[in-house]
């Protein structure tokens, strides 16, 4: 299997911009709102002092290792929810108690990749999107013509995804929104004999399923990857695996994935995902990922 290391740069946004970062914070524009959020990786010096940043709201993190906290609203006219767009999709951003805003904007580098691969396929494509959150990847794949099975343990996230499907005008596209535990669901899919041409998974470091099942990344990912290999069709298009807040290298992530795909050959890309700043050449690293494709036939 051919392996390449690259930087996965989400530089295709109009409704999002990273305006500045540093001193443990980042200043971002999400459509009509500008927000300040903590980011421990941004420990360099910002372009302008954080105290001078202007924003509609600031997220104040609570003590502890989780991502809980609360938003401090600076602009009283700024709504808690507002619409954004990407590449023809419309979705709702919202300020949540976990500092997130309903999307992970760095994933646009994978949304576009998936759309390109699906549109180039000379056949119908079935996609499995695990740990799918509010469904931006699912919407991107459906907009490109795929039949999508979207799974997330949070019924609330799936509800937001369904709302985004309506906002994007994709009500007629085949998306199954499923609230379930990823390990149990994929095992059942194997027993059912179902197969998928593309699989995306964005697992958390730690999580709980719909019936309080526990997910631990390093412990549970390897057996899940073995199960997913059984779900791949005979003509797979791609697999995308991303990881946040884990003490792993992208090399370890790619090799874990490759160990279940060696019989397929193909190409593995691995590296860091990052966001570019709007007005200078700095980058803000966000996560690591590995992305597999079959070998080119052209």
- Which domains are present in the chain? 2-10+103-293 (3.40.50.150), 16-87 (2.60.40.1180)
The stretch 254-262 carries a mean pLDDT of 96
Task: Label each residue of 79-142 as H, E or C.
Answer: CCEEEEEECCEEEEEECCCCCCCCCCHHHHHHHHHHHHHHHHCCCCCEEEEECCCCCHHHHHHH
CA distance 70 to 99: 8
β-bridge mates for residue 151, sequence order: 130, 178
Q: How many CB atoms lie within 10 A of CB 242?
A: 23
Q: What is the pLDDT of residue 214?
A: 82
Residue 58, phi-psi category: left (phi > 0), alpha (psi -120 to 50), beta (remainder) = beta
- Are the C-beta atoms of residues 107 and 201 closer than 8 Å to each other? no
Q: What is the pLDDT of residue 62?
A: 82
* Contacts for 187 with CB less than 8 Å, ≥ 6 apart: 227
| Tens-place pLDDT, residues 195-225 | 999 999 999 887 777 777 787 888 999 999 9
Beta strands in the chain (DSSP E): 2-9, 16-22, 25-30, 33-38, 57-61, 69-73, 81-86, 89-94, 126-130, 147-152, 175-179, 198-201, 206-208, 214-216, 238-243, 267-276, 283-293
Mean pLDDT across 243-257: 92
Percentage of the chain beyond pLDDT 70 is: 98
Q: Report pTM.
A: 0.94
CB 135 within 8 A of CB 164: yes
Predicted local distance difference test score (pLDDT) of residue 65? 54
Provide the pLDDT for residue 146: 98
Backbone angles phi, psi at 231, to 5 degrees: -90, -10
- Which residue's structure tokens are 């700043």? 277
Percent of the chain with pLDDT over 90: 87
Which letter does DSSP use for residue 71 in this model?
Answer: E
Give me the residues paired with residue 29 across strands.
17, 34
Structure confidence at residue 204 (pLDDT): 87
């Amino acid at each position: 299997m051919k392996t390449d290391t690259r930087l996965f740069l989400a530089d295709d946004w109009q409704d999002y911009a990273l305006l500045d970062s540093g001193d443990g914070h980042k200043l971002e524009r999400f459509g009509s709102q500008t927000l300040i959020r903590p980011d421990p990786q941004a420990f360099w010096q910002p372009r302008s002092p954080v105290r001078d940043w202007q924003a509609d709201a600031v997220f104040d993190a609570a003590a502890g290792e989780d991502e809980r906290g609360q938003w401090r609203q600076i602009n009283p006219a700024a709504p808690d929810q507002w619409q954004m767009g990407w590449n023809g999709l419309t979705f709702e951003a919202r300020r949540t108690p976990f500092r997130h805003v309903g999307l992970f904007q760095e994933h646009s580098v994978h949304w576009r990749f998936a759309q390109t691969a699906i549109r180039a396929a000379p056949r119908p494509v079935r996609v499995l999107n695990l740990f799918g959150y509010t469904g931006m990847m699912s919407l991107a794949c459906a907009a490109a013509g795929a039949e999508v099975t979207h799974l997330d343990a949070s019924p609330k996230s799936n509800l937001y995804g369904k709302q985004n499907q309506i906002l994007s005008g994709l009500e007629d596209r085949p998306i199954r929104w499923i609230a379930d535990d990823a390990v149990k669901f994929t095992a059942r899919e194997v027993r059912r004999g179902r197969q998928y041409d593309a699989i995306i998974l964005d697992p958390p470091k730690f999580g709980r399923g719909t019936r309080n099942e526990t997910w631990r990344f390093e412990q549970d990912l390897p057996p899940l990857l073995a199960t997913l290999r059984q779900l791949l069709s005979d003509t797979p298009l791609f697999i995308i695996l991303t990881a946040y807040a884990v003490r792993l290298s992208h090399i370890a992530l790619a090799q874990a994935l490759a160990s279940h795909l060696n019989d397929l050959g193909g190409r593995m890309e691995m590296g860091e995902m990052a966001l570019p700043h709007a007005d200078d050449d700095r980058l803000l690293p966000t996560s690591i990922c590995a992305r597999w494709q079959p070998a080119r036939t052209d």
